Amino acid sequence: MAKVLYTAEAHVTGGRAEGHGKSSDGQLEVDLRLPKEMGGQGDGTNPEELFAVGYAACFEGALGAIARREKADLGDVAIDSKVSLLPTDERGFKLAVELDVTLPGVGDAARAVEIVHAAHYVCPYSNATRGNIDVALTANGEPVPA
């Protein structure tokens, strides 16, 4: 087994509809609620929002790793993320992700696509979800091949 670099711990009660979650270090504490689109009041967060923030933050870290390796200046990176909850034919659910990555320091469109593509193979969220959910990436507005 590989050396563990970090382990996050959290405690959740009540689930997505009327739940509460808290990280073991107390830095994150959230009320979990159904979004309005699913019949809730929308007065809390939900797993999809948390996943969207987590994936985007993790992906930004992967971009930083690629930039350091390649000695590239990416500028002030911004990532707009979308996580969609979809029903399956088996009466279950699945996720789909869109990450719209902006690299202001990279003027060449093909180069931006290369950097985002490389980050997709470094990012732990990408590696965990690859082959399990649809992930669509763009780099400075250009589609990134999977």
pLDDT at 22 over 90: yes
Is the same domain home to 51 and 65? yes
- Under the banding of pLDDT at 50, 70 and 90, the label for residue 1 is confident
Residues 105, 112: Cα–Cα separation, whole Å: 9
| Tokens describing residue 141 | 């507005």
Let me know whether 83 and 71 are in one domain: yes
Residues 40 and 108 in one domain: no
- Evaluate whether 95 touches 48 at the Cβ level (below 8 Å): yes
Question: Rounded to a whole number, what is the largest CA-CA distance in the chain?
Answer: 48
Q: What is the DSSP letter of 2?
A: P
Question: Which CATH number characterizes residue 130's domain?
Answer: 3.30.300.20
Asked if residue 21 has pLDDT above 90, the reply is yes
Instruction: Give CA–CA dist 115/65, Å, rounded.
Output: 10
Structure confidence at residue 140 as a pLDDT band (50, 70, 90): very high
Same domain, 109 and 97: yes
Same domain, 58 and 123: yes
96 and 128 together in one domain: yes
| Claim to verify: residue 54 and residue 2 sit in the same structural domain | no
Q: Which pairing describes strands 29-33 and 78-87: parallel, antiparallel, or unpaired?
A: unpaired
CA angle, residues 61, 82, 30, in degrees to nearest 5: 80
- Host domain of residue 36: 1-45
Q: Are residues 103 and 88 in the same domain?
A: yes
20 and 74 both lie in a single domain: no
Q: Does the pLDDT value for residue 14 go beyond 80?
A: yes
Inter-CA distances, 96 with 56, 65, 73, 105, Å = 14, 25, 30, 28
Is the pLDDT reported for residue 12 higher than 90?
A: yes
pLDDT value of residue 30: 97
Q: In this structure, are 30 and 56 located in the same domain?
A: no
Task: Give the model's confidence band at 9: pLDDT under 50 very low, under 70 low, under 90 confident, else very high.
Answer: very high
User: What would the mean pLDDT of 47-76 be, rounded to a whole number?
Assistant: 98
pLDDT in tens, 78-98: 999 999 999 999 999 999 999
Give pLDDT, residue 146. Answer: 79
> What pTM does this model have?
0.95
**Please, which residues have CB within 8 angstroms of residue 7's CB and are 6 or more apart in sequence?**
none
Q: Is there a single domain that holds both residue 8 and residue 58?
A: no
pLDDT, tens digit (0-9, with 9 covering 90-100), for 99-131: 999 999 999 999 999 999 999 999 999 999 999
Radius of gyration of the CA atoms of the chain, in A: 17
- Looking up residue 20, the CATH number of its domain turns out to be 2.20.25.10
Query: How many domains does the chain fold into?
Result: 2
CA atoms within 13 A on the CB side of 131: 3
